[in-house]
Amino acid sequence: MHTFSGTVKGMTCGHCVSSVKEEVGELAGVTAVDVDLASGTLTVESSAPLTADAVRSAVEEAGYELTG
């Protein structure tokens, strides 16, 4: 099991969280996605290592910015 963590900027509501979870969850090998609205913390578990670029692209596809 591999874990990727980062911070998502720009989320303001539960729909924002759902959008990020949906896009990141579509990445190959992803088994779980957790997003905390208050802190912006994104935690992704996967069966294989994920690149920061892949996660960043998915977050941007949802309309937000990945930092850290």
3-state secondary structure of 38: coil
Structure tokens at 29: 């090998």
Instruction: Quote the mean pLDDT of the chain.
Output: 97
Confidence of residue 68 (pLDDT cuts 50, 70, 90): confident
Structure confidence by residue, pLDDT tens digits, 8-40: 999 999 999 999 999 999 999 999 999 999 999
pLDDT of residue 51 exceeding 90, the answer is yes
pLDDT confidence of residue 3: 98
CATH fold of 2-67 reads Alpha-Beta Plaits (3.30.70)
pTM assigned to the model: 0.94
Q: How large is the average pLDDT for residues 44-60?
A: 97
Enumerate the domain spans of the chain: 2-67
Q: For residues 37 and 16, is the Cβ–Cβ distance under 8 A?
A: yes
